[in-house]
Amino acid sequence: MPNLTLKGKVIITGAIEAITGLHIGGAAAGLDIGGIDNPVIRHPVTREPYIPGSSLRGKMRSLLDKHLGLEANKSIQRQPPVRVHECEQEQAYLQCPACQIFGVTPGDQRRDWTKLKPSRLIVRDVLLSRTHEATRRLREAKTDLPFTEVKWEAAIDRITAAAVPRQNERVPAGAIFSPFEMVYNLFDLNGTGVENDIQWLTYLFKAMELLEDDYLGGYGSRGAGKIAFRELRVLFKSRAYYEGKVAEPVVLGEGDTLRDIKVADFANKIRQNLGD
């Protein structure tokens, strides 16, 4: 039987700034007749917009797949077609940063693999900040809807030039979502160590960098969705920390932007603090 041992956790925290308006879609069914066409997702209790961890995680995986040139070989929806990458052979899986970090579909009967590990990455939902000045101003602003703006757009007929207007709800530029948290697990399978897991960590930060130069949510080709990671702090919590043998986690890096985080230095710091 496989023996999986958790050797530690790398915890990435910080804030996400909306550089341009941000639209992550919610369900329109709950809106009144005459409401906007494309609402944002909101917290069911506070009614404040937030960033679902699934949206953040899914976009980073998609960008990493493209960066690595991985084949979109698995269909998860027929209409409209949605295809993703998942390694089909165990040997390919063992060498694939995307499948190692983000995981593969559990319970697939075709995979009778002996070296299959759970997803290493956990991405939490990110709520609207309650401490940043920019978000305080947003709370006080007289926006079209609570915490959001309504942006009018139009689809234009290429022949008649007739326009069909539509409304898109967006969180205004400058809004801060905080704190965000990503947890990256280091797993030892059957005593093989965590060296590969340490090396894959570089690709997680690569995915974050790719996201900053792409967009999160909808309407990215029309100006929405540019974000930046801010106030970053990266910690390592070893088994010894969770067992009470070490008082404090190890600080791997801190900085206001991704450029300030020296990912190349993480490997040695983690190795030095793994313990038994």
Least confident of 48-57, 91-100, 161-170: 161-170
Q: Residue 129 is which amino acid?
A: S
State mean pLDDT over 215-237: 94
Whether the model clears a pTM of 0.85, i.e. scores above it, the answer is yes
For 83-138, the pLDDT digits (tens) are 888 888 888 888 999 999 998 876 555 556 666 778 899 999 999 998 888 888 88
Given this model, what pLDDT does residue 29 score? Answer: 47
The pLDDT of residue 161 = 72
Per-residue pLDDT tens over the stretch 29-40: 444 545 567 889
Task: Print burial letters for 192-226: b (CB count within 10 Å at least 16), e (below 16).
Answer: eebebbbebbebbbbbbbbbbebbbbbbbeeebbb
Evaluate if residue 62 carries a pLDDT over 60. yes
Residues 192-218: what's their mean pLDDT? Answer: 95
Taking only the tens place, the pLDDT of each residue in 175-190 is 999 999 999 999 998 8
> If you average pLDDT over each of 71-75, 77-81, 82-86, 256-260, which comes out highest?
256-260
Would you say residue 52 has pLDDT above 60? yes
pLDDT of residue 9: 98
Q: Name the residue type at position 176.
A: I
Confidence band for 257, pLDDT divided at 50, 70 and 90: very high
Name which residue leads in pLDDT, 79 or 121.
121
Give the long-range contacts of residues 199-204, CB within 8 A, separation 24 or more: 199/267, 200/97, 200/100, 200/101, 200/120, 201/10, 201/263, 201/266, 201/267, 202/263, 202/264, 203/64, 203/97, 203/98, 203/101, 204/12, 204/60, 204/101, 204/121
| Chain segment 142-151, per-residue pLDDT in tens | 888 888 888 8
